[in-house]
Amino acid sequence: MGFSLKKYSEGKWLKGSDFGEDERKVLTITECFRHTFESGDVRPALKFQEIDQWLSVNKTRNTKLRQLFGDESDALVGKRIVTYAGDASFGGKPEKTVVIAAYKEQQPVLNPDEEFMRDVDSKSRP
């Protein structure tokens, strides 16, 4: 049985360049932890259930995560987010970055007859 070689060329950190055109990844947060970078900077980072790469939580992502889930890191565990590539400028040069957004659970799409029957059933019950 074969396996994907792509996994072995990916870096440790999820980057905007890891996404295809209009690609979205729904990811489940398994851990939020403090990471010390080689520069000595300490910043939150996220691990995910679906991928092996980590995501550094910069100021913009931190603001969004706090809007969605509150201030406590433990509240992030088990939550799902949507990630995709967005445009940013770093050192005056354009580059792709990872953008996060709220994940909204999709409701199953019913055909009109099923919707009607469900409506009729709920009204006919006492």
Q: What is the mean pLDDT of residues 37-66?
A: 95
Q: Is residue 88 pLDDT above 70, yes or no?
A: yes
pLDDT band, residue 108 (cuts 50/70/90): low
For residue 27, is pLDDT > 90?
A: yes
What pLDDT, on the 0 to 100 scale, is given for residue 2?
Answer: 73
pLDDT band at 4 (very low <50, low <70, confident <90, very high): low
Question: What was the pLDDT predicted at 119?
Answer: 52
Average of per-residue pLDDT across 100-112: 75
Q: At residue 92, what is the residue type?
A: G
From 37-41, 44-48, 52-56, 90-94, the region with the lowest mean pLDDT: 90-94
pLDDT classification of 11: cutoffs 50, 70, 90:
confident
Q: Is the pLDDT of residue 25 over 90?
A: yes
Using the CB atoms, write b or e for 2-33: b if 16+ within 10 Å. eeeeeeeeeeeebbbebbeeeeebebebeebe
Q: Give me the mean pLDDT over the 10-22 stretch.
A: 88
How far apart are the C-alpha atoms of 113 and 19, rounded to whole Å? 39
Asked if 51 and 4 touch (Cβ cutoff 8 Å), the reply is no
Q: Domain 7-124 maps to which CATH number in 2.40.50.140, 3.30.390.30, 2.30.40.10, 3.40.50.300?
A: 2.40.50.140
